[in-house]
Amino acid sequence: MRVIKRYRIHMGTFAWILHRLSGLGLISYLLLHIWVISHLSGGERSFDGIMHSFGSPMFKLMEIGLVGVILFHLFNGLRVTLIDMGVMVEKQKTLFVIAVIIWLGTWFAFSAIMLSKMGLLPFTV
């Protein structure tokens, strides 16, 4: 029989796993981003060309996802930094909940703005 080697995932573990995954995602994006921006040197045609290929609504929606990942990494990172500074170490779960609330709140706000710019919302923000 196979040996079960499981360990219950606590909130802190969950935060850590998400932080790592989002971090890995972001570093890939960063490298891509630098490459895209480098097209500025090639002049308007080159830049708009590359931007155009990312301009489909599909990519726009993915961009909203990207903002979500960035914001999670950002707020959880701030949580970790606060803990390292000794702030709310004993209340890390509360701190995580707070971080998640702020994350979802800001993400929602950004999404609304971006969607309205794309004209996907019936109203403008």
Partner 1 sequence: MKYKETTRSGGALPWLFQRISGVYLAIVLFVHVVNLHILIDGEIGYAAIAERVATPLWKTINISFLIVALFHGLYGLWIVLEDYIHIGWLRVLIYGVIATIALVFAIFGTLTMITFQYGG
Partner 2 sequence: MAMITFKINRYNPDDEKRGHFVQEYQIDVPKGYTLLDCLNDIKWKLDGTLTYRRSCRSGICGSCAMTINGVNNLACETQVLGLNCSTVTVEPLRGYPVVKDLAVSLDPIVRGLLAVKPYLMTKTPPPTDQERLQSPEEREKLDGLYECILCGSCTSSCPSFWADKEYIGPHALLKAYRFVADSRDECPGEHLEPIDDKHGLWRCHTIFNCVEACPKDLNPTKAIAELKKELIRGKLG
**By the criterion CB under 8 A, which residues form the site for partner 2?**
1, 3-8, 10-13, 15-16, 80, 83-86, 89-90, 92
Nearest to 14 by CA among 5, 22, 4: 22
Among 1, 4, 5, 84, indicate the residue that binds partner 1 (CB under 8 A). 84
User: Within positions 27 to 46, which residues make up the interface with partner 1, using CB under 8 A?
Assistant: 27, 30-31, 34, 37-38, 40-41, 43-44
Q: Choose the contact partner of 58 out of partner 1, partner 2, none; CB within 5 to 8 A by kind.
A: none
DSSP string across 45-78: HHHHHHHHHT-SHHHHHHHHHHHHHHHHHHHHHH
How many C-beta atoms surround the C-beta of residue 21 within 10 A? 13
CA dist., res. 36 & res. 54, Å (int): 10
Q: Choose the contact partner of 74 out of partner 1, partner 2, none; CB within 5 to 8 A by kind.
A: partner 1
Q: Choose the contact partner of 31 out of partner 2, partner 1, none; CB within 5 to 8 A by kind.
A: partner 1
C-beta of 11 vs 74, nearer to partner 1: 74
User: Within positions 93 to 122, which residues make up the interface with partner 1, using CB under 8 A?
Assistant: 110, 113-114, 117
CA dist., res. 50 & res. 44, Å (int): 10
What distances in angstroms separate CA 50 from CA 37, 60, 71, one per listed residue? 9, 14, 25
